[in-house]
């Protein structure tokens, strides 16, 4: 059950033009940075990317957008990205906006082997257009389908060679649900360890969901909104 | 005297009760955290996957892995818990979060809210707003009474694309506190200090219900 590959280039070698990818992360937090760099290098195009956000101009999925590799984004929020806006307005890029919980739960459904979910999010709005509505106990719910992604690219804090993953803090976000949802899931980790070094009770994503894992490197972990408190009179 | 943003936040903080789990949206709602009394046990939920959000970190202690839904660096408090995005919206959908405070561009007299899209402008997305308004039972809107053009944001019917329908329970603006009646209509509950009922009437396009004397807000 050794899932280890040599690095990002090997991990993504069979991602081809026109495929659908899930990319973990929230804003710039918990992004599969190494896989994104490798995709940019490989230059694979016409991709559909399912990811909560679209990065910024020079980081995250923004790098793939700049390289004209993305055909369609499926996201909940795509602000803070000028190139994204330019491509969208020029018609180069398609975007499907979904409520954030719907996005997460459509990933979850795929990982749990369920074809669809019912959520009240979007009822009475344009998100509901063309979708089936069902009433349960007097309340309307939208039927939303499980995602079908060729690859899921996720970033974890620690992982073992069998693919078991542990995430850190709010860098967890979409990563575990996407890890469960890819036909092939690639995990890059800050620290790759041997089986037995992770406490089984602390594992967030069991290795059965992970097909390839590698030790990542050179994490930039850029901060989008650096907000701090002043230290007053040296008292904390 | 109209309230400033801090004043609106301060007034909304009075709606928070001991033991509440609260989700604060971006903008004025974020400021509400500054006015929660110290002796009150309140846990802030951030929909990117955190319960127990603390204040901003001290300079030099920022952690890129620990952010809030506005992508700001934050801290965690003793007793904090992190979780994935599906669980985060699970607890919202299952109504475990007691109070949701968010901003709005328009609210209608039947409680519809519009806050994500302006036709003709670049649309950034709804983020978690549609999930929150569709599920939360207790939604307070923090907003200015009028838009930049001076037009009322409390309307008979929203003109902008909706975020959710019949969901807003209460509105706090720089001029007034109002609740949305189940049968429709904005019921005036409080006025900002020195603001008259007449002034509020003039900038409320939707049906305004004024019953008896309207007290001034105590902030």
Q: Counting beta carbons within 10 angstroms of the beta carbon of residue A194, is it exposed (0 to 12), middle (13 to 18) or buried (19 or more)?
A: exposed
**Pairing status of strand B99-102 against strand B139-142:** parallel
- Residue B24 covered by a domain: yes
CA B75 to chain A, closest CA, distance in angstroms equals: 10
| Residue A79 forms contact with B (CB below 8 Å) | yes
- Residue B156 covered by a domain: yes
- Residue B59 covered by a domain: no
Contact A206, A19 (CB under 8 A): no
Beta-carbon contacts of A132 under 8 Å, excluding residues fewer than 6 positions away, are A142, A143
Tens of pLDDT along B33-58?
Answer: 999 999 999 999 999 999 999 999 99
Of B58, B68, B130, Cβ closest to residue A125:
B130
Q: How many domains does one find in chain B?
A: 1
Confidence class of residue A234 from pLDDT cuts 50, 70 and 90? low
DSSP 8-state code for residue B9: H
Q: What CATH number has the domain bearing residue B185?
A: 3.40.1080.10
Q: Which domain holds residue B30?
A: 5-38+95-209
ipTM of the complex in this document: 0.96
| Sheet of strand B113-114: strand arrangement | B113-114, B106-108, B154-155
Q: What is the pLDDT of residue B23?
A: 97
3-state class (DSSP) for residue B201: helix
Which residues 145-174 in chain A show a CB within 8 A of chain B? 157, 167-174
Contact A222, A29 (CB under 8 A): no
- Residue B71 covered by a domain: no
Contact A24, A173 (CB under 8 A): yes
Helices (H), chain B: 5-13, 28-32, 85-93, 129-135, 197-202
Confidence class of residue B91 from pLDDT cuts 50, 70 and 90? very high
- Residue B82 covered by a domain: no
Determine the straight-line distance between the first and last CA of chain B, rounded to whole angstroms. Answer: 12
- Residue B177 covered by a domain: yes
Tens of pLDDT along B142-190?
Answer: 999 999 999 999 999 999 999 999 999 999 999 999 999 999 999 999 9
Say yes or no for a CB contact (<8 Å) between B65 and A89: no
Q: What is the distance between the alpha carbons of residues A186 and A154, in angstroms, rounded to a whole number?
A: 6
3-state class (DSSP) for residue B212: coil
β-strand partners of A191: A158
- Residue B57 covered by a domain: no
- Residue B75 covered by a domain: no
Which of the residues A107, A170, A227 would you substitute to probe the B interface, choosing the one with the greatest number of B C-beta atoms within 10 Å?
A170
Q: What is the distance between the alpha carbons of residues A27 and B97, in angstroms, rounded to a whole number?
A: 23
Of A26, A89, A107, Cβ closest to residue B48:
A26
Tens of pLDDT along A102-125?
Answer: 999 999 999 999 999 999 999 999
């Amino acid at each position: 059950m050794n899932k280890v590959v040599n690095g990002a280039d090997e991990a993504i070698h069979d991602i081809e033009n026109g495929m659908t990818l899930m990319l973990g992360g929230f804003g710039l937090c918990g992004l599969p940075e190494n896989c994104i760099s490798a995709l940019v290098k490989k230059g694979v195009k016409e991709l559909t990317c399912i990811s909560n956000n679209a990065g910024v101009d020079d980081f995250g999925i923004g790098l793939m957008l700049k390289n004209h590799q993305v055909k369609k984004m499926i996201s909940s929020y795509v602000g803070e990205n000028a190139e994204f806006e330019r491509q969208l307005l020029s018609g180069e890029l398609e975007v499907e906006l979904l409520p954030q919980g719907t996005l997460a739960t459509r990933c979850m459904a795929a990982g749990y082997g369920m074809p669809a979910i019912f959520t009240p999010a979007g009822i009475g709005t344009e998100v509901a257009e063309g979708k089936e509505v069902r009433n349960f106990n007097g309340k309307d719910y939208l039927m939303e389908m499980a995602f079908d992604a060729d690859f899921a690219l996720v970033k974890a804090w620690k992982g073992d060679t069998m693919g078991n993953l542990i995430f850190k803090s709010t860098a967890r976000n979409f990563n575990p649900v996407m890890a469960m949802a890819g036909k092939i899931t690639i995990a890059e980790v800050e620290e790759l360890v041997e089986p037995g070094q992770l406490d089984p009770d602390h594992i967030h994503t069991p290795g059965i969901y992970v097909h390839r894992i590698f030790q990542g490197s050179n994490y930039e972990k850029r901060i989008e909104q650096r907000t701090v408190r002043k230290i007053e009179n040296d008292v904390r | 005297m109209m309230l400033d943003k801090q004043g609106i936040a301060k007034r909304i903080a009075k709606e928070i009760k001991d033991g509440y789990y609260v989700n604060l949206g971006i903008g004025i709602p974020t400021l509400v955290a500054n006015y929660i009394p110290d002796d009150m046990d309140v846990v802030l939920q951030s929909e990117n996957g955190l319960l127990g959000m603390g204040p901003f970190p001290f300079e030099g202690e920022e952690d890129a892995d620990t952010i809030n839904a506005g992508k700001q660096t934050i801290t965690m408090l003793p007793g904090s818990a992190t979780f994935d995005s599906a669980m985060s919206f699970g607890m919202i959908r299952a109504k475990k979060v007691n109070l949701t405070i968010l901003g709005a561009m328009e609210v209608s007299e039947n409680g519809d809210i519009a806050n994500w899209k302006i036709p003709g402008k670049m649309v950034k997305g709804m983020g978690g707003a549609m999930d929150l308004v569709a599920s939360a039972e207790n939604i307070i809107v923090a907003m200015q009474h009028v838009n930049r053009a001076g037009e009322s944001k409390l309307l008979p019917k929203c003109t902008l694309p909706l975020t959710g329908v019949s969901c807003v329970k209460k509105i706090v603006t720089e001029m007034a506190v109002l609740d949305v009646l189940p049968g429709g209509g904005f019921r005036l509950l409080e006025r900002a200090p020195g603001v008259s009922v007449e002034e509020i009437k003039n900038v409320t396009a939707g049906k305004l219900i004024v019953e008896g004397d309207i007290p001034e807000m105590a902030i």
